[in-house]
Amino acid sequence: AQRVTQPEKLLSVFKGAPVELKCNYSYSGSPELFWYVQYSRQRLQLLLRHISRESIKGFTADLNKGETSFHLKKPFAQEEDSAMYYCALSTNVNYGGSQGNLIFGKGTKLSVKP
Amino acid sequence: GAGVSQTPSNKVTEKGKYVELRCDPISGHTALYWYRQSLGQGPEFLIYFQGTGAADDSGLPNDRFFAVRPEGSVSTLKIQRTERGDSAVYLCASSPTNYPDTQYFGPGTRLTVL
């Protein structure tokens, strides 16, 4: 079954510390992976996607097919990074998946303390 | 430009009643998705439209749930005989094309069934 697992419900770090939000997925085909973020009182928005290989707001994520992981990292956390982070998987239609619907993890709440 | 909008922002209803939730996607976006987010969970896929047709409704939990998009723009999610377990935030997202484009989310409708 297709699944996304985010093992940490809450991650609390101090400003300037490195951050790693974990994401593991289960999918037999070729996945498309995303990180979405929801800041307080704002709507869910895309942070980054693995195919673009961009660094957004200092965050990066590398797809590791061997470990089926897509962990989100930032070397120096800022207070404005405090938010809810969701890892999401989009399945490839050629492997019988749906055309673009996202499978989300339960999310990790990141709290960056001053 | 205008993002995805959803109305109402909040809906309180009694068990057994019928409700309609509306989504206005970004102009020109052909793909439209509905998700449901229960407390402490990530968004869960309900249904996907490509144009006017429902390309994938595999996420609808039962036949009390139905959605339409008659002109390929605005969509309405309809829930009959609401149950307390239907209480959740209902999210709508749109994207310019289908897989694997970025999805732009609306603010959601919080449905409470008493």
Question: Helix, strand, or coil here: A91?
Answer: coil
pLDDT at A95: 47
The proportion of chain A whose per-residue pLDDT surpasses 70, expressed as a percent, equals 93
Cβ–Cβ gap A106/B42 under 8 Å: yes
CA-based nearest residue to B61, from B92, B94, B38: B38
In the block, tokens 């449901």 appear at B36
Residue B25 near residue B92 (C-beta atoms within 8 A): yes
pLDDT at A94 > cutoff 90: no
Residues 24-53 of B with CB under 8 A from A: 31, 33, 35, 40-45, 48, 50
pLDDT tens-digit series, residues B44-100: 999 999 888 888 899 999 999 999 999 989 999 999 999 999 999 999 999 987 656
Nearest CA to A5 out of A109, A102, A88 is that of A88
pLDDT score, position A85: 98
Question: What is the token pair recorded at A108?
Answer: 């990790």
Task: Write out the two tokens for B57.
Answer: 């409704």
Q: Chain A closest CA to B73's CA: distance in Å?
A: 18
